[in-house]
Amino acid sequence: MERSERERQMTPAERRRRMEAKRRRQKERARKKRLRMMILIGMGILALAIVGLIVFGIVKLVSGSGSKKIASKSGNFVIAIDAGHGGEDIGRSNGDAVEKNVTMDISSKLKTMLESQGFQVVMVREDDARMSKEERVQKANESQADLLISIHGGYSEDVNASGAVSYYNKENKQSKNLAETVQSALVKESSASDGGALEGSFHIISDTEMPAVLVEVGYISNAEEALNLADDSYQNEVAKGIAKGIIMSLEKTE
Ligand SMILES: [Zn+2]
Using only the alpha carbons of the chain, give its radius of gyration. 37
Residue 42 banded pLDDT, cuts 50, 70, 90: confident
Task: Output the CA 152–ligand 1 centroid distance in Å.
Answer: 4
Which of 142, 140, 141 has its CA nearest to residue 150? 140
> With DSSP H G I counted as helix, E B as strand and the rest as coil, what are the percentages for the chain, rounded to 5?
55, 15, 25
Any idea which of 15-19, 46-50, 57-61 has the lowest mean pLDDT?
57-61
The yes-or-no verdict on residue 205 having pLDDT over 80 is yes
Residues with Cβ within 8 Å of 158's Cβ and at least 6 positions away in sequence, in order, are: 221
Cβ distance 164 to 194 under 8 Å? yes
Task: Output the CA 251–ligand 1 centroid distance in Å.
Answer: 29
Outline where DSSP puts E strands in 8-133: 78-83, 93-94, 97-98, 120-123
Cβ distance 217 to 192 under 8 Å? yes
* CATH class held by domain 75-252: alpha beta
Task: Output the CA 4–ligand 1 centroid distance in Å.
Answer: 117
Task: Output 167 or 10, whichever has higher pLDDT.
Answer: 167
pLDDT tens string 52-64: 777 776 565 544 4
What single letter denotes the amino acid at residue 152?
H
Task: Output the CA 69–ligand 1 centroid distance in Å.
Answer: 35
Q: Say what the pLDDT of residue 59 is.
A: 60
Q: Say what the pLDDT of residue 66 is.
A: 43
Residue 14 banded pLDDT, cuts 50, 70, 90: confident
Task: Output the CA 99–ligand 1 centroid distance in Å.
Answer: 7
d(CA 174, CA 250): 10
pLDDT tens string 72-90: 456 689 999 999 999 999 9
Boundaries of every domain in the chain: 1-67, 75-252
Task: Output 93 or 14, whichever has higher pLDDT.
Answer: 93
Cβ distance 213 to 148 under 8 Å? yes
Q: Say what the pLDDT of residue 51 is.
A: 80
Task: Output the CA 171–ligand 1 centroid distance in Å.
Answer: 22
Task: Output the CA 222–ligand 1 centroid distance in Å.
Answer: 14
The yes-or-no verdict on residue 231 having pLDDT over 60 is yes
Give mean pLDDT, residues 191-200. 97
Task: Output the CA 86–ligand 1 centroid distance in Å.
Answer: 10
Any idea which of 19-28, 104-113, 115-124 has the lowest mean pLDDT?
19-28
The yes-or-no verdict on residue 69 having pLDDT over 50 is no
Task: Output the CA 101–ligand 1 centroid distance in Å.
Answer: 11
Q: In Å, how far are 58, 81, 189, 205 from 178, measured between CA atoms?
A: 31, 14, 16, 12
Residue 98, CA atoms < 13 Å, CB-side half-sphere: 11
Task: Output the CA 163–ligand 1 centroid distance in Å.
Answer: 15
pLDDT, the chain, mean? 90
Q: Say what the pLDDT of residue 90 is.
A: 98
Residue 67 banded pLDDT, cuts 50, 70, 90: very low
Task: Output the CA 114–ligand 1 centroid distance in Å.
Answer: 22
Task: Output the CA 144–ligand 1 centroid distance in Å.
Answer: 24
Q: Say what the pLDDT of residue 218 is.
A: 98
Q: Say what the pLDDT of residue 58 is.
A: 59
Which of 143, 148, 161 has its CA nearest to residue 220? 161
Q: Say what the pLDDT of residue 8 is.
A: 66
Q: State the burial class of residue 8 (Cβ atoms within 10 Å of its Cβ: 0-12, 13-18, 19+).
A: exposed
